[in-house]
């Protein structure tokens, strides 16, 4: 059964080089085992989702430009997450601030082709159906 995600949950991106942690602002006014609980709308780049080290996606214009300058040799560049869409699917039967709560099996797509997913949920005991 999936766990509720809260502030401090660890994430990875398939196109990133390092893990990152989720930042959840206390705007939802719900705590989960201490830190603020997240819903699917906690996907804002550089607010909720911080950089994953360097980006290796050729779809990223900065990486593409650096790769072209290096005569076609893939050249990773600093990650700037570009997450326009919310996390999917979330837990649709449990609402938090009128949106589905975020569980640790949800994924978020980066505009540059990376898939962001959780390695830890930030909670241990709180499960969502």
Residue 62 in domain: no
Residue 37 has what pLDDT?
Answer: 95
The pTM of this model reads: 0.92
Residue 124 has what pLDDT?
Answer: 82
Q: Which helix H or strand E contains 54, and what residues bound it?
A: strand 54-55
Q: Which domain holds residue 44?
A: 1-53+79-123
Residue 108 in domain: yes
Taking all residues of the chain, what is their mean pLDDT, rounded to a whole number? 95
**pLDDT tens-digit series, residues 43-80:** 999 999 999 999 999 999 999 999 999 999 999 999 99
Residue 105 in domain: yes
| Backbone torsion region of residue 15, taken as left when φ is above 0, otherwise alpha when ψ lies between -120 and 50, otherwise beta | alpha
Residue 89 in domain: yes
Q: What is the CATH number of the domain that holds 116?
A: 2.60.200
Domain count, the chain: 1
Q: Which of 26, 60, 24 is nearest to 44 (CA)?
A: 24
* Cα separation of the two ends of the chain: 7
């Amino acid at each position: 059964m999936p766990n509720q995600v809260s502030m401090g949950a660890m994430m990875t991106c398939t196109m990133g080089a390092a893990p990152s942690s989720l930042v959840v602002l206390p705007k939802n006014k719900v705590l989960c085992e201490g830190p603020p609980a997240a819903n699917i709308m906690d996907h804002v780049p550089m607010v909720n989702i911080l950089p994953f080290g360097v980006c290796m996606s050729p779809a990223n214009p900065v990486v593409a430009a650096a790769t072209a300058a290096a005569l076609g040799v893939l050249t990773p560049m600093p990650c700037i997450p570009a997450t326009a869409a919310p996390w999917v699917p979330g837990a649709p039967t449990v609402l938090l601030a009128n949106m589905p709560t975020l569980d640790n099996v949800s994924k978020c797509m980066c505009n540059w082709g990376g898939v962001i997913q959780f390695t830890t949920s930030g909670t241990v005991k709180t499960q969502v159906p």
